[in-house]
Amino acid sequence: MAVGDKYRAVHRRSLSDPEGFWAEQAGAIDWTRRWDKVVDRANPPFYRWFAGGELNTCHNALDRHVERGRAEQTALIYDSPVTGTKKSFTYCALRDDVAKLAGAIAAQGVVKGDRVIIYMPMIPEAVMAMLACARLGAVHSVVFGGFAANELATRIDDCAPKLVLTASCGIEPGRIVQYKPLLDQAIDLASHKIPRCLVLQRPQAAAAMVPGRDIDWTEAAAAASPHACVPVKATDPLYILYTSGTTGQPKGVVRDNGGYAVALAWSMQYLYGVDPGEIWWCASDVGWVVGHSYIVYGPLIHGATTVLYEGKPVGTPDAGAFWRVIAEHKAVALFTAPTAFRAIKKEDPDGKLLKHYDLSKFRTLFLAGERGDPPTIEWANKLLGVPVVDHWWQTETGWAICGNFVGLEAMPIKPGSCSVPSPGWHLDVLDEQGSPMKAGEVGSLAAKLPLPPGTFPTLWNADERFRQSYLADYPGYYKTGDAGFIDQDGYVSVMTRVDDVINVAGHRLSTGQIEEVLGSHNDVAECAVIGVADELKGQVPFGFLVLKAGVTRPPQDTVREVVQLVRDRIGPVAFFKTAIVVPRLPKTRSGKILRGTMQKIADGQPWKMPATIEDPVVLDEITGGLKTAGYASKG
Ligand code: COA
Ligand code: AMP
């Protein structure tokens, strides 16, 4: 057999016989009721996996392992350099804690189908909170700690939770992030009123409690009776995870229970090549999809040990932190974002700190969240001497669209490419008319419907938005929103987004959303935001402001205020630090702002004068402004 044949056979089968292929993989999961249909195609373009089946995801992640010999195996290792804490939980201990917490949540009247918001830092209780909701069949929605109150309020109003689970604070290097005042502010801002909050008091900061609404987490969990797993339909939602769209209104990506569990179990074994019982580390955050799938659900469903790391790749305390965690816990694989490796490379380009650690158990590095740039991949590969696998996925897809399936058959790695499609993914590169393009040509990456298990069945309360955003442009396909090409060997390269989504340090942001905030400032008549290239973060947002006639204050005052406004309204995670004031914005004759051209100028890339431009002189003004700000150095 030639290299790649094994993978190709699996992939081919997943497309020619999806029912047979996924039914076989579903054997890795415990079901309380077997499905009637592997994929229900009755209501296209809405497809449902394992329709009629019933299961409980928390049972699959914890109880069944306790019952079948893993009770004393470590399920979770919490490693927190920012608090100087390390703690391990066996499967049995984690199951017991989760069952008690589920009891405390149920005591607040939460039942199957109710929504619960989780606004928490990277601590074991965040993992327990997710699993406890899953245990009850409640639908959790985790909100990343770096978002501001306003973003939290938007999510509260969209999913109307019965309960919020939070902690008093998060810890960023050098500062304590007080979560509770942010939550209180969000609850004030939201129209939907939250009857109850369960608040975990961390020793680093005490939260002020609102009498009658806020309940002490520790006391409530201690007083609760353990709650059993509640079976849910395979097609019932496990969680909602909000992600940036093209407007200020984030999209509530829905994840089901059954298809997700099946896809995660498959991927842990065959994509990540991890065996049950092995130690796996995903250095992301529970607030992102990567954290949901591969800090919490994937490794636990698979019976592996997951590492929960509350720290950064650098500064906690140094650029050897990742090597320490891998060595100390004997992790066989690490999954993180390329930006984390760029941060390490910047601090310790020769990898001197690696020499202090024994990484002999370490087999593979997985990168995702943004394009794996070849220099970073090559640097990591040379330093660590293990395969560095770039794999591509999205909040919407829940697991990888493409990757290198090292647990099935490692294929040659081509730096710059995220390798080959996952089972069930039939990818095409389409031109503007929706026709497939030739190998090597760059176009819109789209996947034939139905998407495989684990991917989103719809957006929360927004079927029509789901259809319009993803399915309307290319009938029969899911539009990924990414552009790229597929080479002659079937390897996929993802180059850029086709919409106004930018990727800042592996975090997905909408420039439209930032523009909405800038536009709300009193001085601002018009604005545009682009993502400019950044050596460390991949991209960072950059704003252009046109001020209202009659504004006479120094422009830097307005800039300072809009920077603060974005931090207050969206959060520090937006990393919006720079804007310039310009006399006008470059536009087409039909009034469309030429963001793409501005971005090329800022990045010093070659650019062409757009034929449809209203007034070419504006681009000179923009170039001048960018040069003064230290951009547009080449081109
Ligand atoms: N709560 C509150 N604030 C947070 C936060 C959280 N959970 N996470 C980040 N922030 C803040 C940071 O403190 C920073 O604030 P500042 O502007 O006041 O310094 C801002 O948000 C930007 O954070 P970040 O982009 O994380 O920058 P950083 O300099 O702190 O760290 C990296 C840089 C590369 C270490 C970091 O971006 C990283 O690890 N990225 C990987 C992302 C990832 O895992 N993505 C998921 C896909 S795999
Ligand atoms: P998110 O939904 O936050 O996970 O962001 C998804 C987006 O990140 C994708 O649509 C891509 O634009 C980008 N992305 C994620 N992984 C990769 C990758 N391996 N290569 C290129 N882009 C990626």
Q: Is the dihedral of CA 111, 116, 120, 123 positive or negative?
A: positive
CA 429 to chain CA mean position, Å: 24
pLDDT in tens, 473-515: 999 999 999 999 999 999 999 998 888 899 999 999 999 899 9
| Residue 8 in this model has a pLDDT that exceeds 60 | yes
**Residue 482 beta carbon below 6 angstroms from any ligand 2 atom:** yes
Does 493 fall in a domain? no
Is this structure's pTM higher than 0.85? yes
Provide mean pLDDT across the span 90-104.
98
pLDDT of 500: 83
Claim to verify: residue 529 and residue 480 sit in the same structural domain: no
On whether the CB atoms of residues 202 and 167 are closer than 8 A, the answer is yes
**Residue 419 beta carbon below 6 angstroms from any ligand 2 atom:** no
pLDDT of 632: 84
Does 329 fall in a domain? no
**Residue 485 beta carbon below 6 angstroms from any ligand 2 atom:** no
Give the C-alpha separation, 157 to 172, whole Å: 28
pLDDT of 635: 47
Q: How many domains does the chain have?
A: 2
On whether the CB atoms of residues 248 and 285 are closer than 8 A, the answer is no
pLDDT of 380: 98
Claim to verify: residue 399 and residue 511 sit in the same structural domain: no
Kindly report which listed range (17-21, 47-51, 484-488, 628-632) carries the lowest average pLDDT score.
Answer: 628-632
Claim to verify: residue 127 and residue 268 sit in the same structural domain: yes
For the chain, give the percent of residues with pLDDT over 70: 99
Claim to verify: residue 526 and residue 474 sit in the same structural domain: no
Testing ligand 1's pocket by substitution, the residue of 376, 507, 536 carrying the most ligand atoms inside 8 A of its CB is 507
Claim to verify: residue 102 and residue 185 sit in the same structural domain: yes
Does 179 fall in a domain? yes
Band of pLDDT at residue 634, cut at 50, 70 and 90: low
In Å, how far are 98, 204, 536, 618, 631 from 624, measured between CA atoms? Answer: 58, 47, 25, 10, 9
Centre of ligand 2 to C-alpha 333, Å, is 20
User: Which ligand is closest in space to the CA of residue 478?
Assistant: 2
Provide mean pLDDT across the span 146-162.
95
CA nearest to 481, candidates 397, 420, 423:
397
DSSP 222-249: HHSPP-PPPPEETTSEEEEEEE--SSSS
For the chain, give the percent of residues with pLDDT over 90: 93
Question: In this structure, what CATH number is given to the domain that contains residue 207?
Answer: 3.40.50.12780
Provide mean pLDDT across the span 269-280.
98
pLDDT of 1: 83
Claim to verify: residue 455 and residue 548 sit in the same structural domain: no
Give the C-alpha separation, 50 to 161, whole Å: 27
On whether the CB atoms of residues 29 and 59 are closer than 8 A, the answer is no
Claim to verify: residue 595 and residue 557 sit in the same structural domain: yes
Residue showing tokens 């992102």: 288
Claim to verify: residue 80 and residue 167 sit in the same structural domain: yes
pLDDT in tens, 438-458: 999 999 999 999 999 999 999
Band of pLDDT at residue 246, cut at 50, 70 and 90: low
DSSP 347-386: H-TT-GGGGGS--TT--EEEE-SS---HHHHHHHHHHH-S
pLDDT in tens, 30-45: 999 999 999 999 999 9
Question: In this structure, what CATH number is given to the domain that contains residue 570?
Answer: 3.30.300.30
Domain that holds residue 592: 507-628
Give the C-alpha separation, 260 to 50, whole Å: 10
**Residue 506 beta carbon below 6 angstroms from any ligand 1 atom:** yes
**Residue 336 beta carbon below 6 angstroms from any ligand 2 atom:** no
pLDDT of 12: 98
Claim to verify: residue 439 and residue 538 sit in the same structural domain: no
CA nearest to 154, candidates 106, 187, 113, 194:
187
